[in-house]
Amino acid sequence: MKQGAFITIFFLLFSVVVLADTSEEHQDCPAPISVIGNHVHTSGEMMLSYRFMTMDMRGLQSGTDVIETADVLKDFMMVPTAMDMKMHMFGLMFAPHDKLTVMGMTSYRQLSMEMEEAHQHATEHHDHPVGTHEMSSAGIGDVQLDSLLTIWQRHNITIIGNLGVSFPTGSIAQQVDDGSILPYPMQLGSGSFEARPGLTAFGTHGNWSYGGQLRGAFPLNINASEYRHGSTLTATTWGARRVNNWISLSARLLFSHKGNITGSHPDLDINRSPSHRPDFQGFNRLDVAISSNLIVPTGSLAGQRLAMEFMVPVYQSLTGTQLKNTWKLVLGWQYAFRLL
């Protein structure tokens, strides 16, 4: 399998560089780029960030079983076969105090979904796929505010509490050209205010750094379209190793749980497609990711970081019939500087 070979080569390269011992002098060894709110800043420090995320979903699965498109078309008029998600994420961090960092984030999202459609005959039932088409949506996502409080710090270990809120700035009324509403996964926001608590711990040891984060997202209200997304819980743990003054490499495990939707959009017909069903939205997933970081230690570009993370699922159990994740890539830029 092409993807398997690619991952194997990546991991081999990764272990070769990790095992090659090089330098001694201390310098930051950051967490993987897509862990949000994993570090704090010192008073008066500011950080700008941009992340580009692209994710591929392909093939249907129910629970952990692979499902054929033709089988799903026995029960639905349409079925998604692939989905592509692109996100441009913008973030701003500022520390008014050594023990408090505040953070704001939003994103611009581009979603597209490929569908296969069944024949519609009054007298005869065909269940083989006959037509494919694509639907897409794009726009601003939800806005997140987060405060990071240093609650414990000793030796090389820091524990921070994350207190976050998400505002429903993303549209939940994205439509197809003919005016019909797009299914749940194609909407840009959740439509609800969300509480986003979390707990993050990280430490350093020589050329190594490590950490873990527990995070929840709890939608607080039924949105304007009469539904509420399920709660999300994530747990991640990472290890990073500095190779030299410029480069560090990291690996992490991520477990995610998402519940089903409560309520339903009044215009989404549950017989149309599996993605129209509010009870087909939850999942449990375990992902593994490797990443690299490039940090400029001195000079006029000091404080800049370029990073890349590549993630693949190793286990996913989907509630009902859904598209499964195949891979995700995040490219990021961060720039920290002293404002005050």
Rounded least distance, CB 93 to Cu ion, Å? 4
Interface with Cu ion includes 47 (CB under 5 A)? yes
Q: How many CB atoms sit inside 10 A of residue 258's CB?
A: 19
Measured from the CB atom, the residue of 12 and 92 that comes closer to Cu ion is 92
**How far is it, in rounded angstroms, from Cα 232 to Cα 247?**
33
Rounded least distance, CB 313 to Cu ion, Å? 27
Interface with Cu ion includes 35 (CB under 5 A)? no
Rounded least distance, CB 39 to Cu ion, Å? 6
Residues 6+ positions from 208 with CB-CB distance below 8 Å: 29, 239, 240, 241, 242
Measured from the CB atom, the residue of 305 and 324 that comes closer to Cu ion is 305
**C-alpha dihedral sign at 188, 193, 197, 203:** positive
Binding window for Cu ion (CB under 5 A); candidates: 10-18, 43-51, 105-113, 138-146: 43-51
Helix, coil or strand: residue 169: coil
**How far is it, in rounded angstroms, from Cα 95 to Cα 149?**
10
Helix, coil or strand: residue 95: strand
Interface with Cu ion includes 307 (CB under 5 A)? no
**How far is it, in rounded angstroms, from Cα 205 to Cα 25?**
12
Rounded least distance, CB 336 to Cu ion, Å? 6
Residue number of the CB atom closest to Cu ion: 47
The rounded Cα 113 to chain-centroid distance in angstroms is 18
Measured from the CB atom, the residue of 104 and 206 that comes closer to Cu ion is 104
Binding window for Cu ion (CB under 5 A); candidates: 1-9, 29-37, 64-72, 87-95: 87-95
Which residues from 92-121 bind Cu ion, rule CB under 5 A? 93
Applying CB under 5 A, which residues contact Cu ion? 47, 93
